[in-house]
Amino acid sequence: MASKRSPRQHLALPAGLLVVVLALATAASAQNVWLDASGDPLPFQEDASIMEFLKSAKVTSEKSIGTGINRSVRVTLEKDGVRAHGIFREVDRRERSITLERVHYQLFADSYLFECAAYELAKLIDIPRIPPVVSRTIRGRKGSLQIWLEDALDEEGDSFAPPSGLAWAEQLWDMYFFDNLVYNIDRNAGNILVSPDYTLWMIDHTRAFQFKYSLLNDRVVRVRRTSWEKLVSLTEDDIRGALGGYLTPAEVGSILKRREQLKEHVAQLVADRGEGAVFY
């Protein structure tokens, strides 16, 4: 959500920094401070307040974003003297059967609804790495509206140096775990942002939640214990209650199936390496 960042810059993010994971000391990541259109802190910082602003603020301008294929628009929002930016996505494409990059998908979807579903699911399992987002209709167009990250870092710049390699790696592991759970086929270079406190933000989930029962890839090697415990403790009703307004029954069913796959995968990791080497 910062136009100055190029896809090439994003691609350098995971590989370059994992090399220094063991060389830096552990440090807790600070809470991100959301900024207004002028670069000053918003007068509200809680997710609920930001979401209320996104729902009710007046849209005063729109600007198409040149990258991506999901018809993204940067909007300017104003309410009660507060002026901030958001990103509006209105894509809602569905196919009964399609092959993309030699992978076949049934009931394929590319939908703005998945932005809200991803945010709600990430909250449920304690991975607060998705900027606040709401569903909203703007000038007759239904879509998702997400707060804009004004201050994204250039991870290829000389000053890009996370204070803790381990804390950074844990955020990457969170992302790999989440992407496998939601079967996100579009975690490309441009869908990761980093704020000045070195918080990794996952954006653009319109191609997540595909109708697949298998795991996405083999990147789940370590798992945050709190997230794992919350995921396995969720009932089917919990998941359907939180996500049913955004996902079809088949899409929710796929999450449940992938949770079972993750249980088997993590159990094997623990058997092979021990809990201490798997959970953090």
CB 78 within 8 A of CB 60: yes
Does residue 224 come out as left (phi exceeding 0), alpha (psi in the -120 to 50 range) or beta? beta
pLDDT at position 32 is 82
Kindly state whether residue 3 falls inside one of the protein's structural domains.
Answer: no
- Rounded to 5 degrees, what angle do the CA atoms 37, 127, 186 make? 75
pLDDT digits (tens, 9 = 90+) for 196-231: 999 999 999 999 999 999 999 999 999 999 999 999
Kindly state whether residue 14 falls inside one of the protein's structural domains.
Answer: no
pLDDT at position 20 is 36
Spacing of C-alpha 76 from chain mean position: 22
Q: Is pLDDT above 60 for 5? A: no
Kindly state whether residue 2 falls inside one of the protein's structural domains.
Answer: no
pLDDT confidence tier of residue 84, bands split at 50, 70 and 90: very high
Residue type, 260: E
Residue in the block written with tokens 């507060």: 82
pLDDT confidence tier of residue 8, bands split at 50, 70 and 90: very low
Kindly state whether residue 12 falls inside one of the protein's structural domains.
Answer: no
pLDDT digits (tens, 9 = 90+) for 96-140: 999 998 889 999 999 999 999 999 999 999 999 999 999 999 999
pLDDT at position 22 is 35
pTM: 0.88
Kindly state whether residue 4 falls inside one of the protein's structural domains.
Answer: no
State the Cα–Cα distance between residues 224 and 148, nearest whole angstrom: 27
Q: Longest C-alpha distance within the chain, in Å?
A: 57
For the purposes of burial, counting CB atoms within 10 Å of the CB of 156, is it exposed (0-12), middle (13-18) or buried (19 or more)?
A: middle
Residue in the block written with tokens 């350098």: 12
State the Cα–Cα distance between residues 138 and 131, nearest whole angstrom: 19
For the purposes of burial, counting CB atoms within 10 Å of the CB of 101, is it exposed (0-12), middle (13-18) or buried (19 or more)?
A: exposed
Q: Is pLDDT above 50 for 16? A: no
Domain that includes residue 44, residue range? 20-278
pLDDT confidence tier of residue 10, bands split at 50, 70 and 90: very low
Kindly state whether residue 123 falls inside one of the protein's structural domains.
Answer: yes
Number of domains, the chain: 1
pLDDT digits (tens, 9 = 90+) for 136-156: 999 999 999 999 999 999 777
| Coil vs helix vs strand at 58 | strand
225-233 and 249-273 helices cross at what angle (nearest 10)? Answer: 130
Q: Is pLDDT above 90 for 244? A: yes
Measuring CA to CA, which residue among 127, 264, 225, 145 is closest to residue 184?
127
The values of phi and psi at residue 179, to 5°, are: -65, -35
Kindly state whether residue 196 falls inside one of the protein's structural domains.
Answer: yes
State the Cα–Cα distance between residues 23 and 20, nearest whole angstrom: 5
Q: Is pLDDT above 70 for 55? A: yes
